[in-house]
């Protein structure tokens, strides 16, 4: 009998996540019912939103259940199907979680074409992170040609796509990232106009030099001191897309140092969850796929190997150790 391995949430973290908050389990694969299919997951996506799901408090989505398979995006191959819409050999993307095999009724799976786009890219620039970038830039910030767009966590899976889309839309793109290597990647490989190293530079002073005409749109992934440095540089009627607040995901308070800027500059700040914009996904994925296949959007992956490596890789993601999209090769 085939055996599945999965990682469950063993305990809720207090502060920083540790590998001890997870547990690796094995179980036999169930027999498929009519309408179901079995997927062998080849790739697991690790994303910052998972940290919020590990808490019990009120949020935009249900908390991750204790002793249940950790939630997560996956890309893999159908190996058995009793569903007429899928056949063995189909490459599919879905949310089958931190496990090597997944059983699905097909309702949350999407077939993908790997002829010109790698399977793993459907968990990055042509997946949820890419669509998040597309929606935030085009429908929250509503970026226009000639504007200046600033992006925090600019070398990450979402931020890297935001800046490249901004450049493709004839905007000036300025990134904020941690470390000389990441900043060099953002400007030299991704084509941003400038990048500020928050680990080595005074972000406020560096921004003043990098955005002489101010900031029209800000894509926020971090919060805290980074946001405080950007707010004084925002132009009147600037727009802020609040995608993430990774600075506070481990329970640290993330107050806004001077909220007066929202009034003085008449700023719009809007939080958004990409799963609430499903009507936009087909257009976003079509454009993102064309850009990736055509080499206009570039991306980098950090890959951990084996399901057992997922907890440590996730901790590393929350501490900024990854470079680009964090994946686990199963």
**Domain containing residue 109: CATH number:** 3.90.180.10
Residue 105 belongs to some domain of the structure: yes
Q: Is the pLDDT of residue 245 over 70?
A: yes
Let me know how long the chain is: 330
Residue 288 belongs to some domain of the structure: no
| Residue 153 belongs to domain with CATH number | 3.40.50.720
Using 50, 70 and 90 to split pLDDT, how confident is the model at 294?
very high
Using 50, 70 and 90 to split pLDDT, how confident is the model at 1?
low
Residue 289 belongs to some domain of the structure: no
Q: What's the pLDDT score for residue 320?
A: 85
Residue 137 belongs to some domain of the structure: yes
Residue 91 near residue 58 (C-beta atoms within 8 A)? no
CA distances from 219 to 58, 62, 132 (A): 24, 25, 11
Residue 290 belongs to some domain of the structure: no
Q: How far apart are CA 174 and CA 120, in angstroms?
A: 27
Residues 67, 184, single domain; the answer is no
Chain segment 142-183, per-residue pLDDT in tens: 999 999 999 999 999 999 999 999 999 999 999 999 999 999
Give the count of alpha carbons within 13 A of 278, CB side only.
Answer: 3
Q: How far apart are CA 316 and CA 318, in angstroms?
A: 5
Residues 228, 257, single domain; the answer is yes
Q: How far apart are CA 271 and CA 140, in angstroms?
A: 9
Residue 268 belongs to some domain of the structure: yes
Residues 166, 238, single domain; the answer is yes
Residues 253, 146, single domain; the answer is yes
Residues 6 or more apart in contact with residue 324 via CB below 8 angstroms: 124, 155, 156, 157, 160, 299, 300, 301, 302
pLDDT averaged over every residue in the chain = 94
Three-class DSSP category at 77: strand
Residues 50, 173, single domain; the answer is no
Residues 172, 57, single domain; the answer is no
Residues 226, 248, single domain; the answer is yes
Residues 192, 204, single domain; the answer is yes
Q: How far apart are CA 58 and CA 68, in angstroms?
A: 19
Residues 258, 134, single domain; the answer is yes
Using 50, 70 and 90 to split pLDDT, how confident is the model at 138?
very high
Please report how the helices 128-135 and 281-293 are oriented relative to each other, as an axis angle in degrees rounded to 10: 110
Three-class DSSP labels, 208-259: HHHCCCCEEEEEECCCCHHHHHHHHHEEEEEEEEECCCHHHCCCCCCCCCCC
Residues 307, 257, single domain; the answer is no
Pick from 243, 70, 282: nearest CA to 154: 243
Residues 111, 192, single domain; the answer is no
Domain that holds residue 22: 3-124+299-329
Q: How far apart are CA 12 and CA 296, in angstroms?
A: 41
**pLDDT, average across residues 287-300:** 97
Helix (H) or strand (E) holding 156: none
Pick from 17, 53, 74: nearest CA to 316: 17
Read off the pTM: 0.92
Q: What's the pLDDT score for residue 247?
A: 72
Q: How far apart are CA 167 and CA 173, in angstroms?
A: 6
Overall domain count for the chain: 2
Residue 304 belongs to some domain of the structure: yes
**pLDDT, average across residues 35-58:** 91
Residues 207, 157, single domain; the answer is yes
- What sign does the dihedral 89-91-97-103 (CA atoms) show? negative
- What sign does the dihedral 65-70-76-79 (CA atoms) show? negative
Residue 253 near residue 223 (C-beta atoms within 8 A)? no
Residue 203 belongs to some domain of the structure: yes
């Amino acid at each position: 009998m085939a055996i599945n391995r999965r990682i469950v949430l063993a305990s809720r973290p207090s502060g920083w996540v540790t590998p001890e908050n997870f547990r690796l389990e094995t179980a036999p694969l169930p027999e498929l019912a009519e309408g179901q299919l079995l997927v062998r997951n080849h790739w697991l996506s690790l994303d910052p939103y998972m940290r919020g799901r590990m808490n019990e408090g009120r949020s935009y989505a249900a908390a991750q259940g204790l002793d249940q398979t950790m939630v997560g995006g996956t890309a893999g191959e159908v190996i058995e199907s009793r569903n007429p819409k899928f056949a063995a050999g189909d490459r599919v993307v879905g949310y089958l979680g931190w496990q090597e095999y997944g059983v699905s009724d097909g309702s949350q799976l999407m077939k993908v074409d790997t002829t010109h786009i790698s399977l793993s890219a459907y968990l990055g620039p042509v997946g949820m992170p890419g669509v998040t970038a597309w929606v935030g830039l085009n429908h929250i910030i509503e970026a226009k040609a000639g504007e200046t767009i600033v992006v925090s966590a600019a070398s990450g899976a979402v931020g890297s796509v935001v800046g490249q889309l901004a450049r493709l839309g004839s905007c000036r793109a300025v990134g904020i990232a941690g470390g000389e290597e990441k900043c060099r990647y953002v400007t030299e490989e991704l084509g941003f106009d400038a990048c500020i190293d928050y680990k080595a530079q005074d972000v406020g002073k560096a921004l003043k030099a990098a955005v002489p005409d101010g900031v029209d749109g800000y894509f926020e992934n971090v919060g805290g001191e980074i946001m405080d440095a950007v707010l004084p540089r925002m132009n009147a009627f600037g727009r802020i897309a609040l995608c993430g607040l990774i600075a506070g995901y481990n329970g640290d308070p993330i107050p806004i140092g001077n909220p007066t800027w929202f009034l003085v500059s008449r700023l719009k700040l809007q939080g958004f969850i990409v799963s609430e914009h499903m009507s936009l996904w087909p257009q976003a994925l079509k454009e993102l796929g064309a850009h990736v296949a055509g080499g206009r959007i570039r991306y980098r992956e950090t890959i951990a190997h084996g399901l057992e490596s997922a907890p440590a890789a996730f901790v590393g993601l929350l501490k900024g150790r990854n470079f680009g999209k964090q994946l686990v090769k199963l």
